[in-house]
Amino acid sequence: MVRARLALGLLSLLGSALAQESSSYVDPRNGITFQGLTDPTYGVTYGAVFPPLVSSGAQSTEFIGEIVAPLAAKWIGLALGGAMLDNLLLVAWPNGNSIVYSTRYATDYVQPVAYPGPVITNLPSTSVNATHWNWVFRCQNCTSWSGGSLDTTSGAAWAWAYGNTTVDTPSNNASTFAEHSDFGFWGEIMSAGHASAADYANYLAGTSTSSTTTVSSTTTTTTTSSTTSTGPTSTPTAYDYVIVGAGPGGIITADRLSQAGKKVLLLERGGPSTAQTGGTYKAPWAANTSLTKFDVPGLFETMFTDSNEFWWCSDITVFAGCLVGGGTSVNGALYWLPTDADFSGANGWPSAWQNHAPYTSALSARLPSTDAPSTDGKRYLEQTFNVVQSLLTPQGYRQVTINSDVNSKDHVYGYSAYDFINGKRGGPVATYLQTALQRSNFVLKQYVMVSNVVRNGSQITGVKTNDTSLGPNGVVPLTTNGRVILSAGSFGTARILFQSGIGPSDQLAIVQSNTAAAANLPPSSQFINLPVGESVSDNPSINLVFTHPSVDAYNNWATVWASPPTADAAQYINNQSGVLASASPRMNFWRAYAGSDGITRYMQGTVRPGAASVNTTNSYNASTIFTITAYLSYGITSRGRIGITPSLNAQPIVNPWFQDPIDKVVLTQGLQDIISSVSSVANLTLITPDNHMTLAQYINAYDPATMNSNHWVGSAKIGANSSVAVVDSNAKVFNTNNLFVADASLIPALPVGNPHGMLMSAMEQAAAKILALAGGP
Q: Which stretch binds ligand FAD (CB under 6 A): 7-15, 325-333, 400-408, 522-530?
A: 325-333
- Minimum CB separation of residue 624 from ligand NAG in Å reads 5
Binding pattern for the stretch 685-724 against ligand FAD, x by CB under 6 A and - elsewhere: -------------------------xx-------------
244 touches ligand FAD by CB under 6 A:
yes
Query: For residues 401 and 412, what is the distance between their CA atoms, to the nearest angstrom?
Result: 9
Q: What is the DSSP letter of 220?
A: -
Residue 650 carries which side chain, given as an amino acid letter?
A
Helices (H), 513-632: 515-518, 566-575
249 touches ligand FAD by CB under 6 A:
yes
Q: Phi, psi at residue 297, to the nearest 5°?
A: -55, -35
- Three-state SS for 410? coil
- Minimum CB separation of residue 670 from ligand NAG in Å reads 21
Q: Which is nearer to ligand NAG, 69 or 760 (CB)?
A: 69
Q: According to CB under 6 A, which residues from 559 to 578 bind ligand FAD?
A: none
Q: Phi, psi at residue 285, to the nearest 5°?
A: -75, -15
Beta-bridge partner residues of 155 = 189
Query: For residues 145 and 139, what is the distance between their CA atoms, to the nearest angstrom?
Result: 13
Work out what residue 134 binds among ligand FAD, ligand NAG, none; the CB cut-off runs from 5 to 8 Å by kind. Answer: ligand NAG
Work out what residue 365 binds among ligand FAD, ligand NAG, none; the CB cut-off runs from 5 to 8 Å by kind. Answer: none
Whether omega for the bond prior to residue 689 falls within 30 degrees of 0, making it cis, is yes
Count the Cβ atoms, other than its own, within 10 Å of residue 447. 14
Report yes or no: 340 and 356 within 8 Å, Cβ to Cβ.
Answer: yes
Tell me how far apart the 2 most distant CA atoms of the chain are, in Å: 83
Q: Which is nearer to ligand NAG, 192 or 612 (CB)?
A: 612
Report yes or no: 396 and 411 within 8 Å, Cβ to Cβ.
Answer: yes
436 touches ligand FAD by CB under 6 A:
no
711 is catalytic: yes
Q: Phi, psi at residue 565, to the nearest 5°?
A: -50, 130
Q: Which is nearer to ligand FAD, 328 or 369 (CB)?
A: 328
Tell me the residue length of the chain: 777
362 touches ligand FAD by CB under 6 A:
no
Identified catalytic residue from 132, 356, 548, 711: 711
- Minimum CB separation of residue 404 from ligand NAG in Å reads 27
Q: Which is nearer to ligand FAD, 333 or 727 (CB)?
A: 333
- Minimum CB separation of residue 756 from ligand FAD in Å reads 3
Q: Which stretch binds ligand FAD (CB under 6 A): 148-156, 315-323, 354-362, 363-371?
A: 315-323
Give the β-pairing of 541-547 and 625-632.
Answer: antiparallel
Contacts of 214 (CB under 8 A, 6+ apart): none
* Residues of this chain that bind ligand NAG (CB under 6 A): 19, 29, 68, 102-103, 114, 116-117, 129-132, 134, 141, 145-146, 164-165, 173-174, 181, 269, 285, 287-288, 447, 449, 456-457, 466-467, 549, 570-571, 574-575, 615, 621, 623-624, 645, 682-683, 692-693, 701, 720-721, 723-724
First-last CA distance in the chain: 46
- Minimum CB separation of residue 403 from ligand NAG in Å reads 26
Residue number of the CB atom closest to ligand NAG: 117
Query: For residues 171 and 178, what is the distance between their CA atoms, to the nearest angstrom?
Result: 16
Q: Which residue, among 140, 469, 59, 446, has the nearest Cα to 277 in the 3D structure?
A: 446
Q: According to CB under 6 A, which residues from 748 to 767 bind ligand FAD?
A: 754-757, 759
Q: Contacting ligand FAD (CB under 6 A), which of 27, 62, 663, 743?
A: 743
Beta-bridge partner residues of 459 = 456
Residues that bind ligand FAD (CB under 6 A): 244-249, 267-270, 319-322, 326-328, 330-334, 449-450, 487-489, 492, 496, 710-711, 743-744, 754-757, 759
Q: Which residues are catalytic?
A: 711
